[in-house]
Structure 1
Amino acid sequence: MPQTTHNDIKIAALFPGQGSHAVGMGVDLAAEFPHAEEVYAAKERTLPGLRQLVEVGPFDELTLTANQQPALVAASVAAYRAWQAHTGLTPMVAAGHSLGEYSALVAAGVLQLEDALRLTRKRGELMQQAVPEGVGAMSAVMGDPAVVAEVCAGSRGVVQPANFNAPTQTVISGEKAAVDAASTELKARGLKVIPLKVSAPFHCALMEPAAAGLAPDLHAAAYGPYAFPVIANVTAELNDDPKHTADLLGRQITGSVRWVETVRTLAELGVDVFIEFGPGTVLSGLVKRILPAARIMNVGSAEQIRSFTL
């Protein structure tokens, strides 16, 4: 079961997914904190050339999902390890948004960093290859998620909720024609729909080839004991059993990211403070929309670690 930190403040560690990347992310951490430098050195040993891409760009190449995924894992883990070494604190529980689940598992000691980097590099490659460009689409929908789910269920073709991000923000994903048709119906019901610029339709049935392709690697990886539990995206429930980890990561590729339920589960566990590790503040914003009174902090820079206090 979850454990408390040294001072009994219950911390939830959160790790972002795609879209939070930036050229230069984590460079100041690696320059100042040895634990972060070790992460960046391991990244370069495992995926040569990725460190330079993160440090100097170009941004378009870093944005490619096969580069962005392992780069974000490294940046998030670097922030977490530097923070932990500096503060001596340990979270009670962790969660990651989509790709961020891999970062959470590294933080919990379940996955070795090098394995996570290799897995997310291949995950990105397979996800990009799964659907030809222009065939899939994703859109953000503002409104009642029950209406979104109902419209998707009644649509022809592949379209399904991909991310339940906030109480009134759900992302749908699938075949472009099906997403367009569902979007038209959702607008007719008074919901706001915003097409997203994405390289592939993530978290839907069209990603099945990617899930099948990654399955052997997921099941071949070594999973150690959990230092603290991690909430799985596809169940929004705690997992601390290494035997279930590969299956949960595999199901995540085609399944919905149940972020609203995840954050509410964390609240039910009595979390006192949510800390987002890594670049950006996307998850902090989502948590605030789900739990307006939540205490949220960000750890993504050397300055934020130096000035950290609970």
Structure 2
Amino acid sequence: MKIAALFPGQGSHAVGMGADIAAAFPVAGAAYAEAESTLPGLRALIESGPLDDLTLTANQQPALVAASVAAYRAWHAHTGLTPMVAAGHSLGEYSALVAAGVLSLADALRLTRQRGELMQRAVPVGVGAMSAVMGDPAAIEEVCAAQPGVVQPANFNAPTQTVISGEKTAVDAAAAELKARGLKVIPLKVSAPFHCALMQPAADGLKPALDAATYGGYAFPVVANVTAEISDDPVHTPELLHRQITGSVRWVETIRTLAGLGVDTFVEFGPGAVLTGLVKRILPDARTVNVGTAEQIEQFQMENA
């Protein structure tokens, strides 16, 4: 198998995520213990909630990293398999870098806690907005570029699903024009307008911590969100993570890059199946597997022994 490891971003969280994996596999339990020692209270929040607190951006980001890395480490230890390449959706890029040995889990947890806090503070509540748009991404880019305020594609999630982000007035104006052109627009319930120019204060605030972090060599390459190209030189990693905060998540291109490398199996590590669904929309014939529970790890081992 030529495996691509995929790691989810915000929105995939759930109370209790990965608890059964942590109980069944010592290496996953060790990851949760490290998360707790790095950010006290995080493990209890992951395992017991409440959901409202877990959903807060500053909690959700490190919590998802912990759960995704624990799932990956348990799968890796149990199956003895190593992916040929990895990618993560937005926040998930940090999980991918931990899996590849570039970032330590502790550093990734600290960075994503700070990232979440900075992103939440970057834009006053009510000023920003995000909407999902179904239709031609070229038309979406054209309409966004024509608006006087800040609005831009934040996530190219699937061939006909793009999320736009920016100032609420500009997002609403773009949405009205897109609807007039026959495209479907769905406003999203989000805490901040992610992946747009309004996040520049967060990017600037996180840059010193990104620059100061320790980056190891890549055990396998990671496809970066902002370039949709392979990254395998740690010298460039902090810059890519910095640009990611205000840049678009080029997920469609990312999955096509992975397929172009010869990947034949896409494995999503962590809770939910958001990325699995997106892969199927990009590559309908792709083989996809979810690894978010102890049972799924055992099933993967049995089916691929």
The TM-score bracket by the shorter chain reads: over 0.9
Residues in 2 aligned to 1:60 and 1:146: alpha-carbon distance in whole angstroms:
36
Partner of 1:163: helix, strand, or coil? Answer: strand
| Deviation of the 1:240 alpha carbon | 0.3
| Deviation of the 1:96 alpha carbon | 0.2
Q: 1:123 aligns with which of 112, 115, 121?
A: 115
User: What TM-score, normalized by structure 2, do the two folds share?
Assistant: 0.99
Q: 2:149 aligns with which of 135, 157, 178?
A: 157
| Deviation of the 1:268 alpha carbon | 0.6
Q: How does 1:68-107 map to 2 (within 5 A)?
A: 68-107=60-99
Partner of 2:166: helix, strand, or coil? Answer: strand
Residues in 2 aligned to 1:249 and 1:22: alpha-carbon distance in whole angstroms:
25
Aligned residue in 2 for 1:39: 31
Partner of 2:235: helix, strand, or coil? Answer: helix
- Structure 1 residues 189-221: Cα deviation after superposition (integer angstroms, max 9, x where no partner): 000000000000000000000000000000000
Partner of 1:98: helix, strand, or coil? Answer: coil
Residues in 1 aligned to 2:166 and 2:264: alpha-carbon distance in whole angstroms:
37
Residues in 1 aligned to 2:204 and 2:264: alpha-carbon distance in whole angstroms:
39
Q: Does 1:136 align with 2:100?
A: no
Q: Which amino acid aligns with 1:172?
A: I
Q: Which amino acid aligns with 1:138?
A: M
Unaligned runs of 5+ in 2: none
Q: Which amino acid aligns with 2:157?
A: N
| Deviation of the 1:306 alpha carbon | 1.2
Aligned residue in 1 for 2:171: 179
| Deviation of the 1:307 alpha carbon | 1.4
Residues in 1 aligned to 2:36 and 2:259: alpha-carbon distance in whole angstroms:
37
Q: 1:267 aligns with which of 241, 259, 272?
A: 259
Runs of 4+ in structure 1 off by over 3 angstroms are none
- Structure 1 residues 131-170: Cα deviation after superposition (integer angstroms, max 9, x where no partner): 0000000000000000000000111100000000000000
Aligned residue in 1 for 2:180: 188
Residues in 2 aligned to 1:245 and 1:216: alpha-carbon distance in whole angstroms:
13
Higher alpha-carbon deviation: 282-291 or 49-58: 49-58
Partner of 1:242: helix, strand, or coil? Answer: coil
Q: 1:109 aligns with which of 101, 104, 113?
A: 101
User: What TM-score, normalized by structure 1, do the two folds share?
Assistant: 0.97
Partner of 1:275: helix, strand, or coil? Answer: strand
Q: Which amino acid aligns with 2:277?
A: G
Q: How does 1:1-310 map to 2 (within 5 A)?
A: 9-308=1-300, 309-310=303-304
Identity %: 80
| Deviation of the 1:104 alpha carbon | 0.1
